Structure 1
Amino acid sequence: MDHQRFEKRKINVIIANHLNKQNVVWVPSGNDFVDLLHGFLTMPLGTIVRLLDNHGRSRQKLVIGCLNNLYKSLVDMSIDNFQTEACKQMLIYPESV
């Protein structure tokens, strides 16, 4: 895995929301925030489930509907259901491109 060094950066965001409806109305932002948000939105669901499996100091498992069960079923599935071990690993450990 290619290890990169990331610097800490602060992104200030102003969010205008509708008080009665609790909806976000407008978010003026720069490219940095849009790139960060896009990165979260394109993260594979398998990665999200795996990262949240043992979350935080309490190691409390966070459940995202049926995705946890779906991911566990994939992990527990026999290699006989895949063409190769690499195919199974690509589904268990997906990467964003």
Structure 2
Amino acid sequence: MADKSTNNIELKVLVDKGSNKVIFIEPDNDFADVLFSFMTIPMGTIIRLARKHSDPVVIGCMNNLYASVENIDEQKFWIPICKDMLLHPHNAADAQCNLLN
């Protein structure tokens, strides 16, 4: 059995050598859990983090949409926290992701 304290990722890969293409990949459970946790990150968080990057990442029109929400006057919202909720969304699967170690 592999030592869990190492930083190795174990993958079983089936490759079609004739076409040099991957047919199947089987990760260990921990790796799969981490990949699935990435898919639960809200788009607002991804856009905000991408904009802070030294070479900003453009994700279609999402950057424009995020900037539009930033520029809306808080008076247009029912309560000021609504704008903050759009700009800093929470992960619905946060409790499950926190269990990943």
- TM superposition score category, shorter chain reference: 0.7 to 0.9
- 1:86 counterpart = 2:42: no
Of structures 1 and 2, the one scoring higher in RCO (CA 8 A, sep 6+) is 2
Bigger shift: residues 80-89 or 66-75: 80-89
Bigger shift: residues 30-39 or 9-18: 9-18
Cα offset for 1:17?
Answer: 6.0
- Choose the corresponding residue for 1:53, options 28, 51, 66: 51
Cα distance change, pair 12–83 in 1 and its aligned pair in 2 (3 A): same
Cα offset for 1:25?
Answer: 3.1
Paired with 2:6 and 2:80, the residues of 1 have a C-alpha distance of 37
**Unmatched runs of 5 consecutive residues or more in structure 2:** 93-101
CA-atom RMSD in angstroms: 2.6
Bigger shift: residues 38-47 or 9-18: 9-18
Cα offset for 1:27?
Answer: 1.6
TM-score of the superposed pair, with normalisation by structure 1: 0.73
**Unmatched runs of 5 consecutive residues or more in structure 1:** 1-6
- For the pair shown, which has the larger CA radius of gyration, 1 or 2? 2
Q: 1 or 2, which has the higher strand percentage?
A: 2
Letter in 2 for 1:37: L
Cα offset for 1:18?
Answer: 6.4
- Choose the corresponding residue for 2:72, options 62, 77, 83: 77
The number of equivalent residue pairs is 87
